[in-house]
Amino acid sequence: MAHKRPYYCLLILFVLAICFVPSFGDTNARILMRFRSSLSNASALSNWGNESNLCSWNGLLCRNGQIFYGLRLENMGLEGKVDVEALMELSNLTSFSVINNTFEGPMPEFKKLERLRALFLSNNKFSDEIPDDAFEGMRRLKRVFLAQNGFTGYIPKSLANLPRLLDLDLHGNSFEGNIPEFQQKDFRVFNLSHNQLNGSIPESLSHMDPSSFAGNELLCGIPTRISCHNFSNVSRSLTPDPSSPPQKKGKNRHILIAVLVVVAVVVFASIAALILIHNHRRKRFQPSIPGKQANSQSNAGFQESQSIDLTSDFKKGGDGELNFVREDRGGFSLQDLLRASAVVLGSGSFGSTYKAMILNGPDVVVKRFRNMNNVGKKEFTEHMQRLGSLTHPNLLPLAAFYYRKEDKFLVYDFGENGSLASHLHGRNSSELTWPTRLKIIKGVARGLAYLYENFPGQTLPHGHLKSSNVILDHSFEPQLTEYGLVPVMNRSHAQQFMAAHKAPEVSQLGRPNEKSDVWCLGILILELLTGKFPANYLRHGKGGNKADLATWVDSVVREEWSCEVFDNNIKETRNREGEMLKLLKIGMFCCEWSVESRWDWREAVTKMEELKERDNEDDYSSYASEGDLNSRTMTEDEISFSVNN
């Protein structure tokens, strides 16, 4: 019988394990109910305690629908006290979010939750200074979002010393003083904008996007392009030593006002000088079109109406005529174009763009390209005629061109509703509802598919697909522009600036391939869903670049916070989250780093055409049930993507 004793022991252990699991779940349930009792206005948590399965409770995060690991109590109108003592007893708690509620007072002592990896407190009413040791011991913490609260005082040194910190968003508070040196150098998200910070930006953060520091008038350093030489004394006077007694607020306020006045005068004088220099250079290098001043209606949306004279540019070295490439275009001559009023729309890596308002004729866009110098006139003309023959509702038609050896002018129809980039990142982003965004991306996909079908032998049918090259009409129907120009671009310039050359295979293999445009489509999908500008997620260090928007989205999804990536303007959309998640998944498959695993354009377009404005029951449940979406219980297979194969 002695040899049977090990089996009896195993049987006993098995029975104990079975008994232990429900008791462990019951323990978590009691802790969570105690935590809920500390909250006010907690009607959104009314199903807590009614279900035996914790993962069916609103706001609970579970892996594989079974293992509880976090709380996502967002947009629930919660008030009261965050009972950290209760949360300490949840041994598996690694993620905590109360975004967009109405919690008040000082930040709770979250440092007691040493296992925490993600902390989201944005859009509440937390206030007061955060103690310098508030994040001490939280060595696993990767993501800290404290934006849009009322925090004051210095940025805690314990926060700057977190060894694994990757995402930090402190914007929209009243933090003051100098920015500390952060132990982490390569952030995926970094935003200190719209606080009251001052002094020099640490050199370790000099590669960050300037928008990360916007709204801090007394900051200086490389990202702000403001020299710290004139700010050194000011910074010392406004940033007291923490060991010294506090100065009177009134005195600091007077100093601050005086400094702001001086800064305003300096900035105004600098701007005036830049305008004078710019106008002087324009007179030397870009002679202007004489003509009528543009009326206010035509100039709606532009800061200034500038007369642009292209007369000498068009005539010097040119063939003397405007070449129309479409039979349904015309109605104006080169002289009409030269006499038209014009305004500058922008200036990019390829050249300048103007809006020309032809008297008794249409408004057109004139794009000047300076990097097509290696193309002969015959080759260029043939390619322009081919582009002019393209007809699709999602392509902005090329109307005409003008050939010069040094540079080329392309004339397009004018899109009166601006670019997708201006809507996503400007003041009108709230106009882009989920149905509108879905309409836009489907139109972009159809236009790209048309280019693939008409340029079957070309590696990059578009080559420069990005949000600023998607023009919208008044019904928000998208039209692609700057398409099909790869064959006539200087190769070195294309490699440096064209969007498709940013695809990962270019750094790996030294050249783009037929799926590089699909990678651009994927980035555009993610930009459309997140509302985030892709350039803010590029790492400017050595040794390659994997810190792109797709990688950031993937990191969020892997932590099963997939809904958090969506733009705030579409995040509250009801009965549409399932379709949004499907589009997110399509975008990630288009952004696969492995070219072999990346979808081709046909598969991407087919999947996008299947998307609907609203979730129906079948489609909704194929991604997640309503309970799953509330508790984020999706499996990794359903909502996790690989971008680093």
- Taking residue 352's Cβ as centre, other Cβ atoms within 10 Å add up to 18
CA 326 and chain centroid, separation: 37
Q: Which residues of 379-418 are buried (b: 16+ CB within 10 A; e: fewer)?
A: ebbebbeebbebebebbbbbbbbbbbeebbbbbbbbbebe
Nearby residues of 457 by Cβ (< 8 Å), 6 or more positions away: none
Do residues 126 and 105 lie in contact, with contact meaning Cβ atoms separated by under 8 Å? Answer: yes
Nearby residues of 58 by Cβ (< 8 Å), 6 or more positions away: 44, 45, 46, 47, 48, 630, 631
Angle at 589 between CA 583 and CA 593, to 5 degrees: 145
Do residues 337 and 356 lie in contact, with contact meaning Cβ atoms separated by under 8 Å? Answer: yes
Q: Is 542 annotated as a binding residue?
A: no
Cα(507)–Cα(84) distance, integer angstroms: 47
Which DSSP state fits 45? G
Length of the chain, in residues: 645
Strand ranges (E), 201-303? 218-220
- Taking residue 248's Cβ as centre, other Cβ atoms within 10 Å add up to 8
Q: Is 169 helix (H, G, I), strand (E, B) or coil?
A: strand
- Taking residue 557's Cβ as centre, other Cβ atoms within 10 Å add up to 23
Do residues 476 and 436 lie in contact, with contact meaning Cβ atoms separated by under 8 Å? Answer: yes
Nearby residues of 496 by Cβ (< 8 Å), 6 or more positions away: 349
Cα(482)–Cα(470) distance, integer angstroms: 9
Which DSSP state fits 404? B
Phi, psi of 601 (to 5 degrees): -65, -35
Q: Which residue ranges make up the annotated binding site? A: 367
- Residue list, annotated binding site for ATP: 367
